[in-house]
């Protein structure tokens, strides 16, 4: 083993407990990233998983959750052993993040009352609409409060038994620490936050309790919601039982301090240094969301725009689309099967790179091709169910380049509809957009298309591939190592991202015109998608 300075530092950090660990439960992958004292990743582990559609509900079982988390941590532990010949028995700090929103309801004994309902479920439109009217505040279909109220409207029998509701990250954190708490950014996807206090909005909590008081439930809303904490606050320690849950091998010791669990939106902001006002970032993977930290309130309520917060509690306008690369990935997998059937051994990375770059050779109008990537429902366009569609006219130019570019454009179609509201109706400005997620893995291609869609420079950092788990590890490090009164913004700018290399792509005029032409066709064809979903 060649002993480099970086290797010596990593070994010393692991030995002296100067590391921080972030674990994020994403839609298709659970990933753990261990960082050293210089905030750079030194080890990782991952586990692939998929949600299931059961009885009309997109869900993951608790068995799948824990099997995935344990496998992910085991692979991280093995990575540490392979790279540094050390046993990972502790870390300096730990943080859990996961898919935001959704609905996990538990009874007094801690039992899950109904299967976990993920953010992907959009059958809460009735509840969402009524709550928007009640609060005069945007309540998206996927928010926890919309799921709770829809269960009430449906007369579901489990509702009177509720002792606690939380998110996936909040659930994992509570099992590891015994503490029911979530970060303010994660909390802002459950129920509206009062920006002045950094807590759930008490006025709206009272309004909700009044709304359902005739039901005579044995609970009040505030009593079943988790506690809320800002970035940097301590949020419990790893218990003996929690350590055994995470590491059944018994090598991990109890006592590790945990920071407040966050959602993938908050970790995305952190991982791209986008927590300052007028900064923005876009996370593009299975779903896609764009966040802009605003320096002003919006002029009106828009159902298409979420109002969430940074992990530090600053107001953020969020455009979220349920569907992004899922359908595109399915087509790439089909091409992979074709290559394999022909006897070619092509790596996934090579296949993605080849096909994505081929899209840059497309005609300006994508040959008249049209695609909808709605595997699940899409609230942005009012669809409760999705039907992936590829459409062409008899005279369309059906080439591989046009096919790939149409699908790359379609991956951002719903996002573009929401972003136009921020830009054209609210006058929201950004200095620069930072991108991360699978859409950007092929160098330059996704970045160029995103710049065209948003009409803004798009930056990708060298660390963009680490994404949310790295952002969660940074939040854990901030809690452990921040200076007195040191803000998250200052910590990230001064100690993490100072001098970090990044690439910037400016929007190209021809690309912008091409994207706008596609979007005109995309909006005109939405009736076809709606009829397909209705059939």
In a structure prediction context, what are the per-residue pLDDT tens digits for the chain, which is 535 residues long? Answer: 567 888 899 999 999 999 999 999 998 899 999 999 999 999 999 999 999 999 999 999 999 999 999 999 999 999 999 999 999 999 999 999 999 999 999 999 999 999 999 988 889 999 999 999 999 999 989 999 999 999 999 999 999 999 999 999 999 999 999 999 999 999 999 999 999 999 999 999 999 999 999 999 999 999 999 999 999 999 999 999 999 999 999 999 999 999 999 999 899 899 888 898 888 889 888 889 899 998 777 888 888 888 999 999 999 998 989 899 999 999 999 999 999 999 999 999 999 999 999 999 999 999 999 999 999 889 889 888 899 999 999 999 999 999 999 999 999 999 999 999 998 999 887 777 998 888 998 989 999 999 999 998 999 887 655 678 999 999 999 999 999 999 999 999 999 998 788 899 999 999 999 999 999 999 999 999 999 998 8
Distance, CA of 187 to CA of 192 (rounded, Å) = 8
C-alpha pair distances (Å), 420 with each of 25, 364, 368, 408: 30, 21, 23, 18
| Residue found by looking up tokens 């992004």 in the block | 324
Distance CA 521, CA 318 (A): 25
pLDDT digits (tens, 9 = 90+) for 176-233: 999 999 999 999 999 999 999 999 999 999 999 999 999 999 999 999 999 999 999 9
Q: What is the DSSP letter of 409?
A: H
DSSP secondary-structure letter at 200? E
Q: Write down the pLDDT at residue 150.
A: 98
Q: How far apart are CA 118 and CA 140, in angstroms?
A: 13
SS3 56: coil
Query: What is the rounded CA–CA span in Å between residue 148 and residue 143?
Result: 9
In this predicted structure, what is the pLDDT of residue 468? 87
Provide the pairing of β-strand 93-98 with 20-25. parallel
The radius of gyration of the chain from alpha carbons, rounded to an integer in Å, stands at 23
User: pTM for this one?
Assistant: 0.82
Of 495, 466, 480, 472, the C-alpha closest to 92 is 480
Per-residue pLDDT at 285: 86
Q: Give 331's contacts (C-beta < 8 A, 6+ positions apart).
A: 407
Instruction: Please state which CATH class domain 265-462+501-535 belongs to.
Output: alpha beta
Looking at residue 3, what is its pLDDT?
72
In three-state secondary structure terms, 106 is strand
Name the pairing type of β-strands 20-25 and 370-372. Answer: unpaired
DSSP assigned state of 422: I
């Amino acid at each position: 083993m060649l002993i480099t300075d970086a290797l010596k530092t990593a070994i010393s950090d692991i030995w002296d407990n100067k590391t921080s660990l972030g674990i994020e439960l994403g839609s298709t992958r659970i990933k753990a990233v261990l960082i050293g004292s210089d905030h750079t990743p030194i080890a990782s582990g991952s586990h692939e998983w998929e949600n299931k559609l059961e009885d009309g509900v997109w869900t993951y079982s608790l068995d799948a959750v824990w099997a995935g988390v344990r496998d992910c941590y085991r692979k991280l532990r093995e990575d540490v052993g392979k790279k540094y010949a050390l046993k990972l028995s502790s870390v300096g700090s730990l943080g859990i993040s996961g898919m935001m929103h959704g609905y996990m309801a538990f009874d007094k004994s801690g039992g899950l009352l109904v299967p976990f309902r993920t953010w992907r479920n959009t059958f809460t439109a009735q509840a969402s609409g009524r709550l928007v009217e009640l609060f005069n505040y945007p309540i998206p279909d996927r928010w926890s409060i919309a799921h709770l109220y829809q269960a009430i409207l449906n007369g579901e029998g489990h509702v009177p038994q509720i002792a606690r509701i939380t998110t996936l990250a909040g659930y994992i954190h509570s099992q590891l620490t015994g503490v029911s708490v979530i970060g303010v950014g994660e909390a802002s996807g459950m129920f509206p936050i009062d920006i002045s206090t950094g807590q759930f909005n008490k006025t709206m909590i009272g309004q909700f309790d009044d709304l359902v008081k005739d039901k005579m439930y044995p609970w009040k809303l505030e009593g079943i919601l988790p506690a809320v904490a800002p970035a940097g606050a301590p949020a419990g320690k790893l218990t003996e039982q929690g350590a055994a849950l995470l590491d059944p091998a018994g090598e991990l010791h109890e006592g590790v301090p945990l920071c407040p669990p966050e959602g993938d939106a908050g970790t995305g902001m952190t991982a791209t240094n986008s927590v300052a006002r007028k900064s923005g970032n876009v996370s593009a993977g299975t779903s896609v969301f764009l966040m802009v930290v605003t320096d002003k309130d919006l002029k009106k309520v828009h159902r298409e725009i979420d109002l969430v917060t940074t992990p530090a509690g600053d107001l953020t306008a969020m455009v979220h689309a349920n569907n992004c690369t899922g359908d595109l990935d399915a087509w790439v997998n089909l091409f992979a099967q074709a290559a394999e059937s022909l006897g070619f051994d092509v790596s996934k990375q090579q296949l993605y790179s080849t096909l994505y770059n081929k899209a840059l050779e497309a005609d300006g109008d994508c040959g008249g091709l049209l695609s909808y990537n709605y595997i699940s429902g899409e609230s942005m366009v009012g669809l409760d169910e999705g039907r992936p569609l590829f459409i062409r006219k008899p005279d369309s130019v059906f080439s591989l380049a046009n096919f790939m570019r149409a699908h790359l454009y379609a991956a951002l179609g719903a996002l573009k509809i929401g972003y136009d509201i921020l830009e054209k109706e609210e006058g929201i400005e950004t200095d620069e957009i930072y991108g991360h997620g699978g859409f950007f893995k092929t160098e330059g291609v996704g970045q160029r298309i995103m710049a065209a869609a948003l009409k803004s420079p798009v930056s990708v950092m060298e660390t963009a591939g680490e994404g949310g788990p790295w952002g969660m590890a940074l939040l854990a490090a901030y809690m452990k190592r921040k200076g007195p009164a040191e803000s998250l913004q200052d910590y990230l700018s001064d100690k993490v991202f100072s001098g970090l290399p990044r690439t910037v792509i400016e929007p190209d005029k021809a690309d912008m015109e091409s994207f706008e032409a596609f979007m005109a066709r995309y909006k005109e064809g939405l009736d076809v998608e709606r009829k397909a979903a209705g059939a």
